[in-house]
Amino acid sequence: MLNLRNEFIFAPVKLGYSDKTGEIKQKHIDFYKERSLYLGAVTPEPLFMDTGLRELPTQIGINHDSKLDGLQELTDTIHKNGAKVIAHLNHPGRMANPKIPGNYFWSSTSKACENGGASPEKMDRRMMDKVIQLFVDSAKRAVRANFDIIELQLGHGYLLAQFISPVVNDRDDEYGGGFENRLKFPLQVVKALRQAVEIPVIARISGDEMTPNGFHIDEMIQFSKLLEEAGLDAIHVTAGSACSTPPWFFQHMFVPKGKTWEFAGKIKENINIPVIFVGRINSKKDVINIKEKYGAEYFALGRALVADPDFVGKYLNKVSGLIRPCLACAEGCLGGVKQGKGLGCVVNPLVNTDYPQVKPAKQTKLFAVIGGGLAGMQAAITLKDRGHDVDLYEKSKLGGQFNLAWLPPNKSSLKEIVDYYISELKIHEAHQVNFINKEANIEDLKIAKYDGIILATGAIPAVPPIKGLKEFYWTEFLEDNQLPKNERVLVIGGGLIGLEVASKLVDGNNKVIIVEMLDEIARGMEMLEKVMTVKKLKEKKAEIFVNHKVIEVSGTRVYIENGDTIKEIHIEDIDKIVVATGMKSYLPFKSVDEIPVYIVGDAKKVGKAQQAIHDAYELAVSL
């Protein structure tokens, strides 16, 4: 039995806050302390069991007794908040990071992951015994570090799943071939670990690899029964593989929400130990839905607790306010880790930044915020938290140009942050502002005698001077009722907006031609979104020209030029042209008498949602 105070568990999310020592840092303590106040249990990020098995150069280790003091400080901190602590043990196998010096790669196969990575050594019995000992030693060390529960990673395309998977395991000995053989080594690890410690042990499995030739839910039901027989205390059911199906592994917005819940539900019907549900659980509605539909006993929350540390407190009505939603975009969390900056968050400006917490201002002032996009709304909310009065001007719809962000295929989850901000400003009493639904003009601003004006007026499209270009579109085709069908459409610009429009256009069976001046398309696009969008465009036969620019439009003919060779070619029979060549800041004015004027978001510097939200918070918390 897990014996938690409630049903909520923080899932193991990689932070990347350590250094090459793998030791606990104050940033870890602060991060988990804030998020453990109302949880049943916390699972810190995956713990490396050997310095040669790291996924991140800045990952926490449990490989040596020298780590015990730091790990004990972490578990003690979480225990003081009333939550238990789970040690997540994982051997990455061939998925160890090939860019980290000293890493080694063992697997059931000698094949590298098809999406990149090192070629592993195919394990022999001696290697298997070493791996079993690693798990046993690490589990015993976790007990000494005052962890309450062990979680054993048997899914997500890591070592033990590399044995289970028929698409990876190509052995012809007793550990390969049929399902029972492929389970032999993973079950040996399970049984050895179960015998090594007396505390509860959870198995984390993928309910399905989400690849045609991988393992599927029926096999995982059988496997779960064997794990129960082996004496494990719970099964944590996720999906996908870090190698072959990373969008499922990361539960990205491009994959359908709820599939992992379905797998967990099917396993729950067939075993008698608790099943932990996970995967984009980011609202009260999700929790209630899973409870009602599947009778769930436990929920693992990952990025939802990054976006809002008080998610569970708000669900339990112990903390007031609305839940700030995770968007499943992977931009700030996965993106920050991949860039070596450590985990951040698009919607939460206090994650992995040095920005101060909001404190009441010494004096209440009256501010005008001009523009109701993400930056403007965040600025207004933070100013209200400081105790100021706020007039929020927006000539159109709250949300600004981010109202376009959820229109491209598979991005509907992005709407949740706009809905959240609007609810905060209009429903949550603490954040209600005076909303003025018109364009701000200088005379009105002078009369109101504001103490400060924040310009959050965003950006407008930058249109290059192209000979003969008269009629063109920008993002209009993202709207279903304006999407053309069966036409030839030229998209000038292969960045984020250009590719989003192109992705929508191919859904309308249009022939899309993309012309990009630089040497690659999709610059600045989040990694998983980029891979999936470019793959889709190629499958739909979109024609892509890089290192080219459009130099002239003449009727239905468009002339383009190669930047390297200055070779001119033309493209015939173009029905419509989209211009998506970037944005430029929009500032309707820069000064209003002696009133201080501050500029935030795209109006200050064109960037992404994360920069806009963080920039607005950083300014407003100081005013």
What number is the average pLDDT over the span 336-347?
94
Question: Within the chain, how many helices (H) and strands (E) appear?
Answer: 18, 24
Pick the closest to residue 314 from 349, 283, 286 (CA basis): 283
Cβ 241 vs Cβ 211: under 8 Å = yes
Cβ 329 vs Cβ 346: under 8 Å = yes
What number is the average pLDDT over the span 116-140?
97
Cβ 425 vs Cβ 431: under 8 Å = yes
What number is the average pLDDT over the span 354-360?
95
Q: Which tokens hold the place of 68? A: 């015990």
pTM of this prediction?
0.95
What number is the average pLDDT over the span 468-493?
97
What 3-state class would DSSP assign to 33? helix
CA-CA-CA-CA torsion sign (482, 484, 489, 494): positive
Q: Which residues pair with 87 in a beta bridge?
A: 150
Domain-located, residue 251: yes
Question: Residue 1 has what pLDDT?
Answer: 84
Gap between the Cα atoms of 334 and 343, Å rounded: 7
404 and 540 together in one domain: no
Cβ 551 vs Cβ 568: under 8 Å = yes
Gap between the Cα atoms of 501 and 521, Å rounded: 13
For Cα atoms 613, 37, 49, give the angle at the middle one, nearest 5 degrees: 90
199 and 158 together in one domain: yes
Cβ 67 vs Cβ 61: under 8 Å = yes
Domain-located, residue 107: yes
H/E element holding 35? helix 26-35
Domain-located, residue 3: no
What total of structural domains would you count in the chain? 3
Please determine, for residue 532, whether its predicted confidence score (pLDDT) is greater than 70.
Answer: yes
What 3-state class would DSSP assign to 460? strand
| CATH code, domain with 392 | 3.40.50.720
Cα-Cα-Cα-Cα dihedral of 360, 365, 368, 369, to 10°? -10
What 3-state class would DSSP assign to 481? helix
Share of the chain above pLDDT 90, in %: 95
pLDDT tens, residue by residue, 377-428: 999 999 999 999 999 999 999 999 999 999 999 999 999 999 999 999 988 7
What number is the average pLDDT over the span 298-311?
98
Gap between the Cα atoms of 495 and 66, Å rounded: 47
287 and 184 together in one domain: yes
Please determine, for residue 345, whether its predicted confidence score (pLDDT) is greater than 80.
Answer: yes
Q: Model confidence at 338, in pLDDT bands (50, 70, 90)?
A: confident
Please determine, for residue 563, whether its predicted confidence score (pLDDT) is greater than 80.
Answer: no
181 and 91 together in one domain: yes
Question: Residue 427 has what pLDDT?
Answer: 81
Q: Which residues contact 608 (CB under 8 A, 6 or more apart)?
A: 331, 346, 524
What number is the average pLDDT over the span 567-592?
93
Q: Model confidence at 432, in pLDDT bands (50, 70, 90)?
A: confident
Cβ 376 vs Cβ 400: under 8 Å = yes
What number is the average pLDDT over the span 283-299?
98
18 and 62 together in one domain: yes
Strands (E), 389-469: 389-393, 434-436, 452-455, 459-461
Burial class of 378 by CB neighbour count within 10 A (0 to 12, 13 to 18, 19+): buried
Question: Residue 430 has what pLDDT?
Answer: 76
398 and 536 together in one domain: no
Q: Which residues pair with 149 in a beta bridge?
A: 86
Alpha helices for 215-350 (secondary structure H): 217-229, 246-249, 259-268, 284-294, 303-307, 311-315, 333-338
What number is the average pLDDT over the span 149-163?
98
Domain-located, residue 565: yes
pLDDT tens, residue by residue, 254-289: 999 999 999 999 999 999 999 999 999 999 999 999
Domain-located, residue 360: no
What number is the average pLDDT over the span 84-90?
98
pLDDT tens, residue by residue, 165-208: 999 999 999 999 999 999 999 999 999 999 999 999 999 999 99
CA-CA-CA-CA torsion sign (523, 525, 528, 534): negative
Domain-located, residue 399: yes
Please determine, for residue 352, whether its predicted confidence score (pLDDT) is greater than 80.
Answer: yes
Strand order in the sheet with 488-492: 543-545, 511-515, 488-492, 576-579
Gap between the Cα atoms of 185 and 160, Å rounded: 8
Share of the chain above pLDDT 70, in %: 100
The chain-wide mean pLDDT, for the chain, equals 96
What number is the average pLDDT over the span 322-350?
94
| CATH code, domain with 542 | 3.50.50.60
222 and 150 together in one domain: yes
Domain-located, residue 359: no
What 3-state class would DSSP assign to 489? strand
126 and 258 together in one domain: yes
144 and 235 together in one domain: yes
What number is the average pLDDT over the span 222-247?
97
Cβ 466 vs Cβ 552: under 8 Å = yes
Domain with 281, as residue range(s), is 8-338
159 and 289 together in one domain: yes
Question: Residue 566 has what pLDDT?
Answer: 64
576 and 593 together in one domain: no
Alpha helices for 277-432 (secondary structure H): 284-294, 303-307, 311-315, 333-338, 374-385, 415-426
Question: Residue 44 has what pLDDT?
Answer: 98
Alpha carbon of residue 9 to chain centroid: 18
**CA distances to 15, 142, 306, 417, 467 from 334, in Å:** 9, 26, 12, 18, 42
Question: Residue 498 has what pLDDT?
Answer: 97
Question: Residue 564 has what pLDDT?
Answer: 67
For Cα atoms 512, 516, 519, give the angle at the middle one, nearest 5 degrees: 130
371 and 441 together in one domain: yes
Domain-located, residue 346: no
Question: Residue 558 has what pLDDT?
Answer: 95
Gap between the Cα atoms of 347 and 50, Å rounded: 34
For residue 274, which phi and psi values (nearest 5 degrees)?
A: -60, 150
Burial 133-170 (b: 16+ CB within 10 A, else e): ebbbbbbebbeebbbbbbbbbbbbbbbbbbbbbbbbbe
Pick the closest to residue 384 from 425, 423, 431 (CA basis): 431
Please determine, for residue 565, whether its predicted confidence score (pLDDT) is greater than 70.
Answer: no
Q: Mutual orientation of helices 179-196 and 125-144 as an angle, nearest 10°?
A: 40
Cβ 179 vs Cβ 219: under 8 Å = yes
Burial 431-445 (b: 16+ CB within 10 A, else e): bebebbeeebeeebb
